[in-house]
Structure 1
């Protein structure tokens, strides 16, 4: 009964206008006074931030902060696919006939996640990572590999929470929420970076000017408040690290595995 009530309340509060109201406040100068309290509440390492707390103009300005140079070294090993964000792994594994299996007890179809994109056939038996960003985390999104941006798509949707409750109690939130998808083509294949909006995320923003060619670790976009990245690789082009599993924490630039030449046999 209690869980059903929470689910109903979440349905009612997951309208875009709620996030817009929250976003307007977070971008206002009035929100500046909340920055020290917010940083203390979530134990954010403010010494890593590019600027001093008092130099941020709003809570949103602090939330989308850049870090001091060198705070997130990018793995340089050949063919490395790196985490595009600071996050906790909430799901990872081989995509099986178009299904991402057992993400917090639910299965997701690639077709639904990618909004029936013609490109989805390239990912039906690839690999996936679901990476959850908490309010504590650095919220800028970087390229997981080098390559060219060959397509981007905005998919309208809801703004359900993508935390533990949202992923376990709501129906397939990753493919029902608003999403911004970037497809990156490299020498080995293609990767899809699916940026999933969430409750109180007023928007997902690309950096400006929007790059066409990316180096591994280049800044790509950012979340205004916390959310999730789903990272996909094409069929037969990725070998994951053997020591990473669901529940582990990764930092932006950390190696997730290696891009490999597809077996043509």
Structure 2
């Protein structure tokens, strides 16, 4: 048995997987990853990138760089120009990231689910009843970024960023095994709701990046959060004036795999083929805007 197949067998054992990825000191492990991943010393760089590629099925063929200064540089890699061109149809809301689609569908009277049999309140996720009011019966899609994926996320349409909040929280793993075992998991983890307004139709939408274990930070291209977003605790993040972004423009990145939950008004519909378990790339059709 190869080492990779042995690791795959461990990953397939749900009890062991949950124990290894959630019962260790999550905050300590996250801080440790935040310190190790930027190290550029050749031995550390080679070992950390080697372990990452051993544990994850990483494809770096479309990366803009062929050599990486550190594990952090590889995780947060940019891509070659044109690698994630957004769907040009103005009626299409594009996926903001590469991801595996998780729970998706309709919010029902302010409640949605992380997996079947595990629901949670939209107001708990956002920390604000008013912020979630336009989506009480809206559409939602959960997008899970694995550790091997491209970690940057992009504007799903031409839009203006209206508001950004940061909510302090834990760093549970967000894989399907944890989602089946930890109630209200997304409401427990740290997250950063982003309220945007689309140019087309003036529709409001929400993107909610959710951090997870080993995520040393969420970064935005349009706002300065300082060295670490969690410093300062729950708060509104100031914007540098009017922030307008074109469809496909980079909005930010995770410093490890995580999740984005996207909310749209009731009049939006999921694109064909969007269902749990489907793998999607940034720029592909995710939802359709109303006529």
When normalised by structure 2's length, the TM-score is 0.81
Q: Which residue of the partner structure matches residue 40 of structure 2?
A: 29
How far residue 159 of structure 1 moved from its aligned partner, in angstroms, is 0.3
How far residue 21 of structure 1 moved from its aligned partner, in angstroms, is 1.3
- Select which of 248, 267, 272 maps to 1:242: 272
Distance in 2, Cα, partners of 1:242 & 1:215: 24
Q: Which residue of the partner structure matches residue 211 of structure 2?
A: 197
On the 8 A contact 2:34/2:216 being kept in 1, the answer is yes
On the 8 A contact 1:241/1:256 being kept in 2, the answer is yes
On the 8 A contact 1:104/1:167 being kept in 2, the answer is no
On the 8 A contact 1:197/1:204 being kept in 2, the answer is yes
SS of structure 2 residue aligned to 1:256: strand
How far residue 13 of structure 1 moved from its aligned partner, in angstroms, is 2.1
Paired residues in the alignment total: 256
Match status 1:171 vs 2:201: no
- Give the stretch that moved more between structures: 218-227 or 95-104: 95-104
- Select which of 117, 135, 140 maps to 2:147: 135
Match status 1:226 vs 2:237: no
On the 8 A contact 2:21/2:173 being kept in 1, the answer is no
1:80-134 C-alpha deviation (Å, 9 max, x unpaired): 1111110001110011101113625311211011111522111101100001111
Distance in 2, Cα, partners of 1:66 & 1:213: 21
Match status 1:88 vs 2:100: yes
On the 8 A contact 1:82/1:255 being kept in 2, the answer is yes
Match status 1:39 vs 2:58: no
Match status 1:75 vs 2:105: no
How far residue 259 of structure 1 moved from its aligned partner, in angstroms, is 1.1
Q: Which residue of the partner structure matches residue 217 of structure 1?
A: 248
1:179-221 C-alpha deviation (Å, 9 max, x unpaired): 0111111133111110000001111111256771011111011
Q: Which residue of the partner structure matches residue 149 of structure 1?
A: 161
Distance in 2, Cα, partners of 1:81 & 1:72: 14
Q: Which residue of the partner structure matches residue 66 of structure 2?
A: 52
How far residue 171 of structure 1 moved from its aligned partner, in angstroms, is 1.8
When normalised by structure 1's length, the TM-score is 0.89
Change (3 A) 1:4 1:115: farther
How far residue 79 of structure 1 moved from its aligned partner, in angstroms, is 2.0
Q: Which residue of the partner structure matches residue 161 of structure 1?
A: 173
- Select which of 87, 90, 103 maps to 2:115: 103
Change (3 A) 1:99 1:82: same
On the 8 A contact 1:26/1:58 being kept in 2, the answer is yes
Gaps in structure 1 of 5+ consecutive residues: none
Match status 1:259 vs 2:276: no
